[in-house]
Amino acid sequence: MTLDRRRLIVGAAALTAAPLAACDEATMKTIQARLNPTGPTGGPAAPSGPAAPGAPAAAPTAPGVVAAGVRMPARPWTYDAFREAMTASGRNPSISAAQFAEIQARKPGAVNRVKTYLDGKFGAADPNVLAAFDSVPRDYFHYAYASGVSTATQCYEADPKPWAIGHGSVLSDYLGQAYMTQLAAPKPTDVTLEIGTGSGFQSSLLSRIVRDAYTIEIIQPIGQAVGKIFAPLGYANVHSRVGDGYFGWPEVEGGFDTIMLTCVAQYAPPELFRQLKPGGKLIIPIGQPFRRGQVLYVYTKDDQGRVHSRRDVGVFFIPMTGAMQNRPKPA
């Protein structure tokens, strides 16, 4: 399998920046070798094998990243805050204070890249999306779960790309995640569902804007480990579980304003439409696994329950696993 990195970060002219979700270990090793030439400290890649912290204080952030509709951090994101949150989530901090400071120094550049990217794609970046991205400490989500080491030194890279986090999962490219967030047009009253938790960053990003963010991960070791990372950040409105996203989360009363898949499906699961509120939006990549021609579709449900669809951009996602792989497309 050959992956062209440029196709992960360009728009409709080729393949847009897009999150990647679950895949098998062999494919993950291929992606890791192609996209992650160095390990967490810049050397060889690592082998597989109660206050709420907030925005960085160790370095200046991009000016003007403020929005009234975004939950702001209750505490500066310092090295001590990073270590406390990592330990509380059951993970090894494993980076030095100097490395932490270098990471934070790169953040303003990443925020500006997100703004430029969204300006180009949508005409103007949503201030809420920018403020949410600025408020969520992305370095906290860079972690190799199979080897138990922080990969935070990879954070806020100038050439955005997905990063392996172990067990066949990835932390998605941050431009793609910002794009998906603005495409969802989240509002403070919304309830969202993400299929494919991965690192947890996408739902954390949404959670800074929406009322409640639900997220499902099918890979058990990832879902169990990542389920512990939200509370140390004070993200009480993120709800996660291990399960097959094909069936959604039917226990959530009233359904969802946005359902977002961060994995490619061969068709839109019928149960997800049933859980979509009138006026709601289903954002889903549709296509064949590991092949060109995948397209991001946006389905909307009107007040009469009719569903409308439109093609958005070309994408490249790793496939949805579970029931999607063994159930035929409904008539």
Cα→Cα distances 236→31, 114, 133, 183, Å = 33, 26, 18, 24
Q: Report how far residue 131's alpha carbon sits from residue 266's, in angstroms, rounded to the nearest whole number.
A: 34
Q: Indicate the burial class of 52 (C-beta count within 10 angstroms; 0-12, 13-18, 19 or more).
A: middle
Of the ranges 117-126, 235-244, 257-266, which one carries the lowest mean pLDDT score? 257-266
**Any catalytic annotation for residue 172?**
yes
Q: Report how far residue 244's alpha carbon sits from residue 242's, in angstroms, rounded to the nearest whole number.
A: 7
Q: How confident is the model at residue 119 (pLDDT cuts 50, 70, 90)?
A: very high
Q: How confident is the model at residue 66 (pLDDT cuts 50, 70, 90)?
A: low
Q: Given a cut of 50, is residue 37 above it in pLDDT? A: no
Q: Given a cut of 60, is residue 139 above it in pLDDT? A: yes
Q: Are 85 and 51 in contact (CB under 8 A)?
A: no
Q: Given a cut of 50, is residue 8 above it in pLDDT? A: no
Element (H, E) at 143: strand 143-144
Q: Given a cut of 80, is residue 49 above it in pLDDT? A: no
Only one residue has tokens 């196709």, namely 7
Q: How confident is the model at residue 291 (pLDDT cuts 50, 70, 90)?
A: confident
Annotated active-site residue in 89, 135, 172, 207: 172
Q: What is the pLDDT of residues 70-103, one digit of tens each?
A: 999 989 999 999 999 999 999 999 999 999 999 9
Mean pLDDT (whole number) for 264-285: 95
Q: Indicate the burial class of 69 (C-beta count within 10 angstroms; 0-12, 13-18, 19 or more).
A: middle
- In this prediction the pTM is 0.82
